[in-house]
C-alpha cells in the first residue's frame, strides 16, 4: 500500500479507478503510408545498432539503402598541431588584452588540427530489386511497426498479393528481407549500387506542400545501378550458388588516405530458381524469398583496421541461413521487445488517429494531435535502440542512417550539443543499455584526448573539443569560430554520470571514475586566473558557435564552460567519495578550484549572460540556434525553479529573445528548457512546431534541415520530462503537463536513484501512481506544491 504521507500529498489517489488497457489500445505504434517513398526522408529505417537499412517500399523496383556504423572515411591519424602548445601563452595574452580577433587569427594558424576537418560517415550502398511485370500496385500500404521493429509493404497486382518485410536482427547481425507472392510468383533481379555523393539539401523535398498527396509515379521508375560510376576498388561478384559478394574500400578525405575495406554479402533463399550472374542475382518463379544481408568493415578499433570483413559477412550469412525464417523473425522481435516494451505511453483519450503519418505531420501545427506526440516519443526510443546498442558505435549526427558519402557536417559526432542530446532520453525512456557505446567512445577519447591535452596544452588528463569521428580525433577543428572549445569531452561525461545516477551501479561508477578524474585533471592544469580577478576561467574558448562581436567568438570563461566544469568537478568529487578513493590531495584541489569558478551572471537586459562580459545585447545573432549558457538549466540542474529563481527569470528573458523556432535540434532544446522550468503551455506550443512539417519529415526524422537525429532524441526527452522530472533530490510528477493532455498514462518511466514509475492522470490531476525501486529506499515526491517523503516497502514498492 502507498504510504499515508504520499496519499495525503496526492488527494484522489485512493479513489482512483483508472484501468490499464492493452498496449494496442493505449498506443498507436505504427508509422504508415499510402504510397511508396520518394526522397530518402520518406523511407523507413531499421537498425540493430551496427547495421541499418532504409526501406522505400517501391513497387516496380524496391530500394533498400544500407549502412554499417564503422564505414567512415580515412583511417587512423593524429590531427594534433605541433605548434599549439607554443602558441597557447600568446593566445591567452591576446585574449587578456581584449585583442580577440588577433587571438582567433593565431589560433587559426597555430592551434587548429591538421587537417582542419574530420572524417565523414559513409553509406554502404543500395540493393535494387527489379521486378518483372510490376509497374503499379493497388491496395497499397507500407508501415513501420515500432513494437516489432519490422518495416512492411503490401500491395496487389491483379490477382497476386505481394508482401515484403524488412528487419535488422540484433541476435543474427543481418538485415533480413522477406518477399512473398500469394496467388502468383515473383521474378526479379537483385543488384548492388555503390554510394556516391548525395544532395542533402531541402530542394529535393517539399514536405510542407506535398506531404498529404501520393508520391508521383516517377519515384517508382527503375533507377540505374550506375555501373559506369563504380570505383575501380569495387568488386561485385557471385559468391557460391545463391549469394552476391561486394568488396570495396572507404573513401579518402582531407588528405587522410583510405584505410578501411568493407564487404556486403547478400544470400538469397527461396522456392524459385535462384541464379547468381556476375554482378547480380536472378530470381525466377518464386513465391517466397528470404534475403540475408550482412555488412562489415576491417575496423577493429580507432588504431587498428586489420579485420577481415569478407570472413565476417560470410560467417554471418551462413549462420543466419541455417535458421528458418520464423526463427530469425522471432529472435529479432524478442531481442527488440525486451528493451522497447519497457515503456508505454498514452496522451489524451479516444481512438488512434486513422490518417497516414505524413498527413498527420503536414497539419500538426494547426490540428493538435496528442497521439502524434506519443508516437514521436516511441519513435525516438525506437531510433535510439536501433542506432546505439551494446557493441556498436554511438549514435552519430544521423544516428545510423545516411544516404551517401558526404553527409551534412560529416555525419560524425558533434560534441558541443548534438551527441549529448542523442542520449538525453536514454535513462528516462528506460533504454539505459544504449549508453554503452558512448562509454566506449569516451574511453577511447580519454586516450587520444590525453595526446591532445599534452601536445595542445602541455596538460595532464584528456580533452576533446567540439567534434570527433570514428578515429577518435580530439584536436580542435573547423576554425576558431567553432572548434576552439575545450569542454566537449567534459560534457560527454554527463551521460556517463547520469547512467550511474539513474541506476546506482557501482561497477559502472568504478569504470567511469578514471574518465571523470582525467577530464578534471585537464582543467586543473589549464584553468587560468581572470585578469579582472573574477576567478578561474578557460582560455582560449568560445560559447559554442556564437560570436560576441561580428566575426569573433574567441574569449575566456564563457558561462557554459563554467557550468560544465562545475558539474564535472562535482561528479568527480562525488564519485571519489562514494568509491572511497585515497587521493585526498586531488579531491582537495578539485574542491578549491570548483569554489573559484565564476558564478552565473545577470546582464543589464535582465538576461542570463552568455559571456563573463555583458556582451549579449550587442552580439550579432540575437536568435542564435545555440543557447549554450542555458546548459545550467537543462540538461544540468544548477539553475532551477526551486533554488535560483532570479537566474530562472534571466534564463526566460534569454529564451524570449532567442525565439521559439530554430533548427530542429535547437527547437528541441528550447522545448526541454521551458519544460524543465515548469512552463507546460509554452513548451507545448514549441512542441507543435517541432512536430510540424518544417521540423519533421514524413518518415518522422527530425529536420535541422537537413536531417539530424538529435532533434528526435531531444524532443523525446523533453516530452517525457513534461510528465516526470528528476532533479534536486526530488521526483516531480506532471511538472509541465499542458492543458491539451488532460488525461493519459505512462508505464515504465525512469527517475534518478534507480526508480521506475507508472502513473495515470485525468482532468490534469494525478490519479494513480506506482513506484518501484530498492527495498527501504527513501524518496521525495513532488506533486504540484505538495511534497512528500516516502519509503519503499520490503519489495521495493509503493503502490495504490
pLDDT at 229: 75
Rounded to whole angstroms, how far apart are CA atoms 489 and 502? 21
* Phi, psi at 500, each rounded to 5°: -65, -45
Distance CA 435, CA 336 (A): 16
Give me the pLDDT at residue 352, please.
80
Q: What is the pLDDT of residue 223?
A: 84
C-alpha cell at 413: 559526432
How much is the pLDDT for 688?
Answer: 97
190, 268 contact by CB (below 8 A):
yes
Per-residue HEC secondary structure of 41-65 comes to HHCEEEECCCEEEEECCCCCEEEEE
Residue in the structure block whose three cell numbers are 577530464: 519
- Domains along the chain? 1-27+356-400+690-800 (no CATH), 33-72+120-343 (2.70.98.50), 80-114+435-606 (1.50.10.10)
User: Does residue 291 contact residue 267 with C-beta atoms inside 8 Å?
Assistant: yes
Rounding to the nearest 10 degrees, give the CA dihedral for residues 665, 671, 677, 682.
150
* pLDDT for the residue 351: 76
Segment 333-351, tens digit of pLDDT:
999 999 999 999 999 887 7
First to last CA, the chain: 6
Residues paired with residue 246 on neighbouring β-strands, in sequence order: 236, 264
Q: What mean pLDDT do residues 174-202 have?
A: 91
CA–CA separation, 173 and 293 (whole Å): 9
- Give the model confidence (pLDDT) of 361-387 as tens digits: 999 999 989 999 999 999 999 999 999
Quick one: average pLDDT of 665-669?
A: 97
Q: What is the pLDDT of residue 220?
A: 65
| Number of C-beta neighbours around residue 512 at 10 A | 23
C-alpha dihedral, 299 to 305 to 307 to 308, nearest 10°: 90
Residue 656 makes CB contacts below 8 A (sequence gap 6+) with: none
Distance from C-alpha of 764 to C-alpha of 743, rounded to nearest angstrom: 6
CB of 742 within 8 A of CB of 764? Answer: yes
CB 52 within 8 A of CB 387: yes
User: Of 192-206, 303-317, 518-532, where does mean pLDDT reach its minimum?
Assistant: 192-206
Tell me: the pLDDT tens digits for 552-596?
999 999 999 999 999 999 999 999 999 999 999 999 999 999 999
Q: What is the pLDDT of residues 30-85, one digit of tens each?
A: 999 999 999 999 999 999 999 999 999 999 999 999 999 999 999 999 999 999 99
Q: Are 788 and 781 in contact (CB under 8 A)?
A: yes
Looking at every residue in the chain, the average pLDDT score rounds to 93
The residue with cell 572524417 is 119
- Position 227 scores a pLDDT of 66
Q: How far apart are CA 616 and CA 8, in angstroms?
A: 46
DSSP label at 74?
A: S
What's the confidence (pLDDT) of residue 17? 28
pLDDT confidence bin for 27, thresholds 50/70/90: low
Helices (H), 120-233: 207-210
pLDDT at 7: 44
Burial 282-303, CB ≥16 within 10 A → b, else e: ebeebbbbbbbbbbbbbbeebe
Radius of gyration, CA atoms only, the chain: 27
* Phi/psi of residue 81, nearest 5 degrees: -80, 120
Is residue 165 within a helix (H) or strand (E), and if so which, with residue range? Answer: strand 160-169
Give yes or no for residue 215 having a pLDDT over 50.
no
pLDDT the model gives residue 136: 86
Give residue 201's pLDDT: 67
Contacts of 439 (CB under 8 A, 6+ apart): 496, 499, 511, 512
Residue keyed to cell 493505449: 26
Report the half-sphere exposure of 642 (CA within 13 A, side-chain side).
Answer: 16
Residues 558, 561, 564, 566, Cα dihedral to 10°: -80
From CA 263, how far away is CA 239, in angstroms rounded?
A: 12
Q: How confident is the model at residue 3 (pLDDT cuts 50, 70, 90)?
A: very low
* Cα(709)–Cα(714) distance, integer angstroms: 9
* Residues found in the chain: 800
If you ran DSSP here, which 8-state letter would residue 107 be given?
H
756 φ/ψ angles, rounded to the nearest 5 degrees: -125, 140
Amino acid at each position: 500500500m502507498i504510504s499515508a504521507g504520499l496519499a495525503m500529498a496526492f488527494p484522489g489517489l485512493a479513489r482512483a479507478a483508472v484501468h490499464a488497457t492493452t498496449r494496442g489500445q493505449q498506443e498507436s505504434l505504427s508509422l504508415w503510408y499510402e504510397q511508396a517513398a520518394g526522397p530518402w526522408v520518406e523511407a523507413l529505417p531499421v537498425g540493430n545498432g551496427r547495421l541499418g537499412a532504409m526501406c522505400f517500399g517501391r513497387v516496380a523496383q524496391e530500394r533498400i539503402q544500407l549502412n554499417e556504423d564503422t564505414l567512415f572515411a580515412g583511417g587512423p591519424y593524429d590531427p594534433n598541431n605541433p605548434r599549439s602548445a607554443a602558441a597557447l601563452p600568446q593566445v591567452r595574452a591576446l585574449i587578456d588584452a581584449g585583442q580577440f580577433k588577433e587571438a582567433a587569427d593565431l589560433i587559426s594558424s597555430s592551434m587548429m588540427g591538421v587537417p582542419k576537418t574530420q572524417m565523414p560517415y559513409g553509406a554502404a550502398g543500395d540493393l535494387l530489386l527489379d521486378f518483372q511485370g510490376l509497374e503499379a500496385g493497388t491496395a497499397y500500404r507500407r508501415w513501420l511497426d515500432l513494437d516489432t521493429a519490422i518495416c512492411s509493404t503490401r500491395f496487389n497486382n491483379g490477382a497476386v498479393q505481394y508482401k515484403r518485410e524488412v528487419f535488422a536482427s540484433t541476435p543474427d547481425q543481418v538485415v533480413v528481407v522477406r518477399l512473398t507472392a500469394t496467388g502468383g510468383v515473383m521474378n526479379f533481379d537483385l543488384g548492388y549500387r555503390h554510394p556516391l555523393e548525395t544532395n542533402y539539401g531541402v530542394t529535393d523535398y517539399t514536405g510542407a506542400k506535398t506531404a498529404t498527396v501520393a508520391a508521383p509515379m516517377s519515384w517508382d521508375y527503375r533507377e540505374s545501378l550506375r555501373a559506369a560510376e563504380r570505383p575501380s576498388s569495387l568488386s561485385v561478384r557471385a559468391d557460391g550458388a545463391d549469394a552476391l559478394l561486394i568488396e570495396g574500400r572507404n573513401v579518402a578525405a582531407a588528405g587522410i588516405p583510405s584505410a578501411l575495406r568493407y564487404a556486403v554479402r547478400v544470400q538469397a533463399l527461396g522456392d524459385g530458381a535462384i541464379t547468381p550472374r556476375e554482378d547480380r542475382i536472378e530470381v525466377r518463379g518464386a513465391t517466397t524469398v528470404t534475403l540475408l544481408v550482412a555488412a562489415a568493415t576491417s575496423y577493429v578499433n580507432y588504431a587498428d583496421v586489420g579485420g577481415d570483413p569478407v570472413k565476417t559477412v560470410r560467417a554471418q550469412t551462413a549462420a543466419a541461413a541455417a535458421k528458418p525464417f520464423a526463427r530469425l523473425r522471432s529472435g529479432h522481435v524478442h531481442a527488440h521487445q525486451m528493451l522497447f516494451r519497457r515503456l508505454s505511453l498514452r496522451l489524451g483519450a479516444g481512438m488512434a488517429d486513422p490518417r497516414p503519418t505524413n498527413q498527420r505531420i503536414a497539419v500538426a501545427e494547426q490540428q493538435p494531435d496528442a497521439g502524434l506526440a506519443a508516437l514521436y516519443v516511441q519513435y525516438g526510443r525506437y531510433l535510439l535502440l536501433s542506432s546505439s546498442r551494446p557493441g556498436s558505435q554511438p549514435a552519430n549526427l544521423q544516428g545510423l542512417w545516411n544516404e551517401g558519402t558526404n553527409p551534412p557536417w560529416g555525419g560524425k559526432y558533434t560534441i558541443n550539443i548534438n551527441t549529448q542530446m542523442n542520449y538525453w532520453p536514454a535513462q528516462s525512456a528506460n533504454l539505459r543499455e544504449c549508453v554503452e557505446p558512448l562509454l566506449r567512445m569516451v574511453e577511447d577519447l580519454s586516450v587520444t584526448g590525453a595526446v591532445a591535452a599534452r601536445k595542445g596544452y602541455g596538460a595532464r588528463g584528456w580533452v576533446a573539443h567540439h567534434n570527433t569521428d570514428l578515429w577518435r580525433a580530439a584536436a580542435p577543428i573547423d576554425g576558431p569560430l567553432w572548434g576552439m572549445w575545450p569542454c566537449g569531452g567534459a560534457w560527454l561525461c554527463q551521460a556517463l554520470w547520469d547512467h550511474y545516477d539513474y541506476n546506482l551501479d557501482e561497477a559502472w561508477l568504478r569504470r567511469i571514475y578514471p574518465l571523470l578524474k582525467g577530464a578534471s585533471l585537464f582543467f586543473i592544469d589549464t584553468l587560468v586566473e581572470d585578469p579582472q580577478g573574477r576567478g578561474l576561467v578557460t582560455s582560449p574558448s568560445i560559447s559554442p558557435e556564437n560570436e560576441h562581436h561580428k566575426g569573433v567568438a574567441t574569449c575566456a570563461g564563457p558561462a557554459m564552460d563554467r557550468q560544465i566544469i562545475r558539474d564535472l568537478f562535482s561528479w568527480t568529487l562525488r564519485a571519489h567519495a562514494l568509491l572511497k578513493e585515497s587521493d585526498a590531495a586531488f579531491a582537495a584541489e578539485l574542491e578549491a578550484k570548483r569554489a573559484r569558478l565564476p558564478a552565473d551572471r545577470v546582464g543589464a537586459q535582465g538576461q542570463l549572460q552568455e559571456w563573463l562580459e555583458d556582451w549579449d545585447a550587442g552580439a550579432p545573432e540575437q536568435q542564435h540556434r545555440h543557447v549554450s549558457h542555458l546548459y545550467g538549466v537543462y540538461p544540468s540542474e544548477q539553475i532551477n525553479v526551486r533554488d535560483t529563481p532570479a537566474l530562472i527569470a534571466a534564463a526566460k528573458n534569454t529564451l524570449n529573445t532567442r525565439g521559439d523556432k530554430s533548427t530542429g535540434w535547437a527547437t528541441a532544446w528550447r522545448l526541454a528548457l521551458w519544460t524543465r522550468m515548469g512552463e507546460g503551455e509554452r513548451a507545448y506550443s514549441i512542441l507543435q512546431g517541432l512536430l510540424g512539417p518544417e521540423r519533421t519529415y514524413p518518415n518522422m526524422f527530425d529536420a535541422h534541415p537537413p536531417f539530424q537525429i538529435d532533434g528526435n532524441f531531444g524532443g523525446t526527452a523533453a516530452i517525457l520530462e513534461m510528465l516526470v522530472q528528476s532533479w534536486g533530490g526530488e521526483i516531480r510528477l506532471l511538472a509541465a503537463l499542458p492543458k491539451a493532455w488532460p488525461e493519459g498514462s505512462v508505464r515504465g518511466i525512469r527517475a534518478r536513484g534507480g526508480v521506475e514509475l507508472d502513473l495515470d492522470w485525468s482532468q490534469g490531476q494525478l490519479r494513480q501512481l506506482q513506484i518501484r525501486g530498492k527495498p527501504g529506499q527513501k524518496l521525495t515526491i513532488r506533486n504540484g506544491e505538495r511534497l512528500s517523503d516516502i519509503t519503499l516497502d520490503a519489495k521495493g514498492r509503493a503502490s495504490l
